[in-house]
């Protein structure tokens, strides 16, 4: 019969991968908790409208990449990202009444129907943080600091932090108008995607990867508009304060005026952290401020900022970790005694296994040396004398201890 294979763009996370995944998850809990963040888990599917309104219906994510299906005449979508879901939960659970800032962190699978390639999957995992209730740039600095310190805790280096300010809707309007007017003569030469973006979301033009478009955007008169300081006084002040905080914290960053991010909810600060050790999909972290999203999704006027990181990309940068061997393997032909000892060890927090098929002693010892650190030999002599022979399988050292003392030595 034909074998059924894993779906394109998805992957099994195997037991051998698990030490790295546990490491990423434990460090996330440890680091984010230190900053006062609490974990939240939201459903994997939500109303399609949440993403259309939240992420934005001019984005590639909403237009091309969503896994949408109908059930009982409702349109549902597997979450392509988790900011919209967390905002929905924030509103629905009245979290704006909690003392600000409300800091939430999450981990879990996301789904985007993208063309799979190295570093880009259709089901991938994110770990992320969302901070609600602070409009001052101190929150922007703290969120970037959290991301940087998490990556440091994972032992990752050779990373670059890029920041930009998208301004507020008012100053962005001026920028869009200027950009459209210098680009007008070249409109016919732009790729079909850019022609659509020109009408719907001109800011996203800057993100285009098509060489012909990139060439147009590097023309002096267009570059001048892109590089211009279009943001208004208040937005500029916010950005300058953020830069000063980052300088004080010793966080190195560069300003990338082309950084616009692929989601519609951002205003003011956006940032990305890239790794110099990944291929073309080199962003390990993306984030930014989204001061209008809570209100746009029906909540109070609550400013917010956050980020998310791709865990598969992080995992590929983390050194492979040794799989933990079982601590003890009981070598014994008396099943009753074997079960009793394993359960006693497990009850005392020691990982323990025994041979469920009751093979010969030598075979059991062979198995023990493959899977465990210690073999606990319980032969007829040991049972008669109420003791256990403990063999260290790395050094082959062996000693016999009293049965009653066995749980105290691991
Ligand atoms: P994003 O830039 O779309 O932002 O995704 C964040 C990170 O998720 C990326 O930098 C990348 O590491 C990873 N990622 C995204 N798509 C894929 C994929 N197809 N395969 C593998 N990894 C991927 C967001 O999702 C925003 N919700 C971040 C945010 C939180 N902004 C504010 N708060």
For residue range 252-263, list pLDDT tens digits in order. 999 999 899 989
Q: SS3 for 172?
A: helix
Please give the Cα distance from 167 to 232 (Å, whole number): 7
User: Rounded mean pLDDT of 152-178?
Assistant: 93
* Rounded CA separation 197/134 (Å): 31
372-377 and 326-331 beta bridge pairing = parallel
pLDDT band at 74 (very low <50, low <70, confident <90, very high): very high
Residue 273 CA to ligand 1 center (angstroms) comes to 11
pLDDT of 323 over the 80 cut: no
State residue 8's pLDDT score.
97
**Residue 264 Cβ < 6 Å to ligand 1:** no
CA distance 363 to 353: 14
- The rounded mean pLDDT for the chain is 95
Task: Choose which residue among 126, 143, 291 to substitute to test ligand 1 binding: the one with the highest number of ligand atoms within 8 A of its C-beta.
Answer: 126
Distance CA 65, CA 333 (A): 57
Torsion sign, CA atoms 80, 299, 69, 104: positive
Pairing mode, if any, of strands 159-165 and 387-392?
A: unpaired
Q: Give CA angle at 395 (389, 390), nearest 5°.
A: 10
Ligand 1 pocket test, pick from 204, 308, 309, 317 with the greatest ligand atom count within 8 Å of Cβ, gives 308
Residue 283 near ligand 1, beta carbon < 6 Å: yes
| Residue owning the nearest CA to atom 4 of ligand 1 | 286
Predicted confidence at residue 69, as pLDDT, reads: 97
Give the integer Cα–Cα distance in Å for 144 and 307. 8
Instruction: Say what percent of the chain tops pLDDT 70.
Output: 100
> Residue 77: pLDDT band by 50, 70, 90 thresholds?
very high
| Residue 226 confidence (pLDDT) above 90 | no
For position 28, what pLDDT does the model report? 98
pLDDT (tens digit, 9 = 90+) per residue, 268-287? 999 999 999 898 899 999 99
CA within 13 Å, CB half, 128 = 27
Query: b or e along 145-155 (b: 16 or more beta carbons within 10 Å of the residue's beta carbon)?
Result: bbbbbbbebbe
Ligand 1 atom nearest to 122, measured from its CA: 19
* pTM, entire model: 0.93
pLDDT band at 9 (very low <50, low <70, confident <90, very high): very high
**What pLDDT, on a 0 to 100 scale, did the predictor assign at position 227?**
86
| pLDDT of the residue at 402 | 96
Distance between CA atoms of residues 329 and 391, nearest Å = 10
Q: Sign of the CA dihedral 357, 359, 364, 366?
A: negative
Please tell me the number of Cα atoms within 13 Å of 41 on its side-chain side: 3
In DSSP terms, 255 is beta-bridged to 163
Q: Could you tell me if the CB of 171 is within 6 A of ligand 1?
A: no
Question: What's the rounded mean pLDDT across residues 105-119?
Answer: 96
pLDDT at 206 over 90: no
The pLDDT of residue 201: 86
Around 70, how many Cα atoms within 13 Å sit in the side-chain half-sphere? 3
């Amino acid at each position: 019969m034909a074998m059924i294979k894993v779906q394109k763009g998805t992957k099994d996370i195997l037991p051998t991968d698990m030490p790295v995944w546990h490491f990423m998850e434990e460090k996330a809990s440890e680091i984010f908790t230190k900053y006062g963040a609490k974990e939240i888990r939201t459903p994997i599917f939500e109303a399609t409208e949440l993403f259309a309104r939240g992420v934005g219906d001019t984005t590639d994510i909403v237009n091309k990449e969503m896994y949408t299906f109908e059930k009982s005449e409702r349109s549902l979508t597997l979450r392509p990202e988790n900011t919209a879901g967390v905002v929905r939960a924030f509103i629905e659970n009245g979290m704006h009444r909690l003392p600000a800032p409300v800091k939430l962190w999450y981990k879990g699978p996301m789904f985007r129907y993208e063309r799979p390639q190295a570093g880009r999957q259709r089901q991938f995992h994110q770990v992320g943080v969302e901070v609600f209730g602070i409009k001052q740039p101190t929150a922007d600095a703290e969120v970037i600091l959290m991301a940087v310190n998490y990556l440091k805790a994972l032992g990752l280096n050779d990373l670059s932090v890029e920041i930009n300010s998208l301004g507020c809707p008012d100053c962005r309007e001026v920028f869009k108008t200027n950009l459209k007017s210098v680009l007008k003569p070249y409109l016919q030469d732009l790729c079909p995607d850019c022609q659509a973006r020109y009408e719907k979301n001109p800011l996203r033009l800057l993100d285009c990867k098509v060489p012909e478009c990139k060439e147009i955007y590097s023309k002096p008169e267009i570059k001048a508009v892109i590089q211009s300081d279009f943001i208004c006084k208040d937005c500029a002040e916010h950005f300058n304060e953020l830069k000063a905080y980052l300088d004080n914290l010793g966080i190195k960053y560069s300003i990338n005026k082309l950084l616009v991010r692929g989601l519609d909810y951002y205003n003011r600060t956006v940032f990305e952290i890239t790794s110099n050790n990944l291929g073309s999909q080199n962003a390990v972290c993306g984030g930014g401020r989204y001061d209008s999203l809570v209100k746009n999704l029906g909540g109070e006027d609550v400013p917010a900022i956050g980020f998310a990181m791709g865990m598969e990309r992080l995992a590929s940068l983390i050194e492979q970790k040794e799989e933990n061997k079982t601590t003890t393997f009981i070598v014994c032909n008396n099943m009753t005694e074997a079960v009793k000892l394993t359960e006693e060890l497990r009850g005392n927090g020691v990982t323990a296994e025994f041979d469920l098929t009751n093979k010969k002693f030598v075979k059991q010892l062979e198995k023990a040396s493959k899977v465990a650190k210690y073999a606990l030999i319980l032969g007829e002599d040991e049972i008669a004398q109420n003791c256990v022979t403990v063999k260290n399988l790395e050094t082959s050292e062996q000693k016999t201890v009293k049965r009653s003392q066995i749980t105290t030595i691991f």
